[in-house]
Every structure is written in C-alpha cells, then in structure tokens.
Amino acid sequence: MVVLAKPPALDQISLVRSPEPGGGSPFPGVPAVDLCSPGAALAVVDACERFGFFKVVNHGVPAGVADMLEAEAVAFFARPQAEKDASGPADPLGYGSKRIGRNGDMGWLEYLLLAVDQGSAVSKASPVPSSSLRDAVNEYVGAVRGVAASVLEAVAEGLGVAPRDALSRMVADAASDQVFRVNHYPPCPLLQRLPDSCSVTGFGEHTDPQLVSVLRSNGTAGLQLALRDGRWVPVPPDRNAFFVIVGDSLEVLTNGRLKSVRHRVVANSLKPRVSMIYFAGPAPAQRIAPLPELLGHGEQGLYRDFTWGDYKKAAYRSRLGDNRLDPFRI
Ligand code: GA4
C-alpha cells in the first residue's frame, strides 16, 4: 500500500476522493429555470424533487450588482492578513480563515459571514470591514432576496399550496434570519503533488439548514453535489446564473417531498474561486412543520415539532457533515 505524506500546510484539512470513480446513471446536468417562463413553478418543483438544486437564468439582476460585490470581496481578501483578522475570528459572524463553525471543521478557504437585517442593511452586529463593502453587500442582498422569494413562491405554486406567499413570507418577515457569506478559495498548488483521484476539501460536505440558499460564483469550478444515489457530480460554474440549494427547513415544510441536498467545494490548483451565498432563513420563532396542504388524509408529519430557533441552535452544535435532521425525525 502506498501511504501519501500530506504537505504540512494541509495538515488539518481532509482530502476527498474526486473525481469519483465512474458508475451509476449519467448526470443529465443542472436544470436551468427562467422564473418568468410559463411552467416555471412545475420546473422548480421537479428540479427540487430530483436534485434539491437548480439554477435560475434570466433573473433580471444586473450583472454589475454581483460584479461590484465580487470586486469588493476580492479587494478585501487581498488585504494584509492582520487587517483581515481585525474583522474576525468568525464566531460565527465575521472573517474566518480555514475554520468553519465551532466544532473543528476545516477547509481551504477564507470567508466573511454577515447577518442581514430586513430592509437589506447588513446587521449592525456584523463586523463589516469597509463602508464600500457594506454598500455592495446591501445592494446585492436586496436583489438576491427577491430571487429567493420568487423561488419560494414558485415552490408553493408548483406544490399547490395556497396562498402563494405561504413560504416566501417567512423570508419577508421583519424578524427573518438571513445570513450572507462570501467565500474565497485561494488556489491550492499543493494539489499538484497529490494523485489525480484526490482533492483538497475547500468546504466540506453538508446540507444548508435554512429554507433555500442562493449562490453565485465566479467562473472557477469546485462546487459538487451529491445525487440521490450518493454519487458526487461537479457543477459547471456559471457566473451569470444563481444556483438555488434546497435547505433542511424546506425539506421539513414539504414533509420530505423536497429534500435538502448535500454539497461541497473542492480546491482548485490554479484559480481562485469566489462564491457569494445568501441563506434565506425564517424568524427564530417560526414553527417548522409540514404545511397542512401537503399532508394527505390521515398522513402524519415525518418530523417532531420545532422552531427555526431550536434548529439553528442544534445546527451550531453539530459538525458540518452531520445529518442535522435525523434527531428531529419521528
Ligand atoms: C452551513 C450553511 C451556512 O454556510 C452556515 C454554516 C455555519 C457556519 O459556517 O457557521 C455552520 C454550517 C452552516 C452548518 C453546521 C454548523 C453551522 C458551520 C457548522 C459546522 C452559515 C449555516 O447557517 O450553517
């Protein structure tokens, strides 16, 4: 057996097997949905049922809004380490480097994690490094929140849930818990010293706890998702689209009809990856339970009753890769 010595810089960062050895049915590709097209609601539900994942195209958010924020983020991550550290360490908000969460997860990345108040203002509690970055985040989040709301309306319509805003109003609620994160995955040249079948963890596999997450990245690959058969597939980058990720809370609200999707990011040896993700979470007091319209006659909910506040607290006690819904299943 050949034992590989891991370069010291990667000491606490796990390696993943990627690309996966072949097998299973081929991945037909990421479904693309234009939310304004006829049939969008059914296409969204179909994609969420099959993959828990799709991309929104023709979304109407001006490219300049995302480009401006990306440029601000790139400038921030290029600053001297001591200046970046002044906005950290992330606990959970603020600047973080390599450490993710509180329980020992590590990845080849640095990031800013910010809380967002309603009305798009970055929460006063978040340590934002500059006013220009704050303005760019506010403009971006204002636009992307609209995409998340349209997606949730399409989900309700596609599932036959009334009113149409039954889900989207959870995000519009003044007390909703919204988080924004920008991740910078620096190139990882050490990868070239590892075998082709091996990669370095950028962000370890996990599901998102919220309702939906809306992700936009630059043109660098790295995001992968787990298909329902457990196979990992790469997601081709598309800087003009928003990728939508079904979170655990939406899984519960739909009584498991839509499932949250496990995803991860692997490091790239040559190019930096920058991703910006808006996590649409409900208010802490919001009850997360299957919508009555989705329970057939006599059908029971699959999860015990909890609030978003309960779930978030439990999530922060977990490791990234844990199945956080399991303890809530009946
Ligand atoms: C995953 C989704 C979001 O990025 C996040 C992450 C959070 C963090 O980075 O602080 C968590 C992770 C995420 C789930 C389990 C806990 C909490 C890291 C971690 C190990 C901001 C979120 O809401 O949950």
Q: Is 4 among the domain residues?
A: no
| Stated pTM of the model | 0.95
In DSSP notation, 277-324 reads: EEEEE--TT-EE---GGGSPTTPPPSB--EEHHHHHHHHHTS-TTS-S
Q: Which domain holds residue 139?
A: 10-328
| Cβ contact 213:152 at 8 Å | no
In whole angstroms, give the CA distance from residue 100 to residue 220: 21
Mean pLDDT of 128-156: 94
Kindly report, residue by residue over 73-121, the tens digit of the pLDDT: 999 999 999 999 999 999 999 999 999 999 999 999 999 999 998 765 5
> Residue whose CA is closest, atom 1 of ligand 1?
208
Neighbours of 162 (CB within 10 A): 10
Q: Is 82 among the domain residues?
A: yes
Among the listed residues 294, 329, 297, 292, the one whose alpha carbon sits nearest the alpha carbon of residue 314: 329
Q: What is the mean pLDDT of the chain?
A: 92
Name every residue whose Cβ is closer than 8 Å to that of residue 102 and which is 6 or more positions away in sequence: 91, 92, 316
Residue 296 CA to ligand 1 center (angstroms) comes to: 33
Mean pLDDT of 7-11: 75
Pocket test for ligand 1, best of 106, 250, 265, 279 (most atoms within 8 A of CB): 279
Residue 113 CA to ligand 1 center (angstroms) comes to: 10
State which ligand 1 atom lies nearest to the alpha carbon of 281.
Answer: 23
Here the tokens at position 235 are 């997601």
Residue 3 has pLDDT above 50, yes or no: no
Mean pLDDT of 173-186: 95
| Cβ contact 233:18 at 8 Å | no
> What's the number of CA atoms in the CB half-sphere (13 Å) around residue 163?
4
Here the tokens at position 3 are 């034992």
Q: Is 132 among the domain residues?
A: yes
Residue 303 CA to ligand 1 center (angstroms) comes to: 21
Residue 313 has pLDDT above 90, yes or no: yes
Residue 24 has pLDDT above 60, yes or no: no
Residue 206 CB less than 6 A away from ligand 1: yes
Q: Is 281 among the domain residues?
A: yes
Residue 105 CB less than 6 A away from ligand 1: yes
Here the tokens at position 162 are 């009334």
Residue 59 CB less than 6 A away from ligand 1: no
Q: Is 167 among the domain residues?
A: yes
* pLDDT of res. 22: 60
Q: Is 157 among the domain residues?
A: yes
In whole angstroms, give the CA distance from residue 25 to residue 269: 29
State which ligand 1 atom lies nearest to the alpha carbon of 101.
Answer: 18
Q: Is 1 among the domain residues?
A: no
Residue 231 CA, chain-centre distance (Å), reads: 19
State which ligand 1 atom lies nearest to the alpha carbon of 92.
Answer: 10
In whole angstroms, give the CA distance from residue 214 to residue 143: 11
Residue 1 has pLDDT above 60, yes or no: no
Percent of the chain with pLDDT over 90: 81
Structural domain total, the chain: 1
Kindly report, residue by residue over 190-241, the tens digit of the pLDDT: 888 888 888 999 999 999 999 999 999 999 999 999 999 999 999 999 999 9
> Residue whose CA is closest, atom 12 of ligand 1?
320
Residue 100 CB less than 6 A away from ligand 1: yes
Which segment of 122-131, 265-274, 300-309, 311-320 scores lowest on mean pLDDT? Answer: 122-131
* Between 254 and 123, residue with greater pLDDT: 254
* pLDDT of res. 19: 74
Q: What are phi and psi of 197, to 5 degrees?
A: -85, 5
* pLDDT of res. 2: 44
Neighbours of 46 (CB within 10 A): 15
> Residue whose CA is closest, atom 2 of ligand 1?
208
Q: In which band, very low, low, confident or very high, does the pLDDT at 128 lie, cut at 50, 70 and 90?
A: confident
Q: Is 266 among the domain residues?
A: yes
**Which CATH number do you get for residue 303?**
2.60.120.330
* pLDDT of res. 296: 87
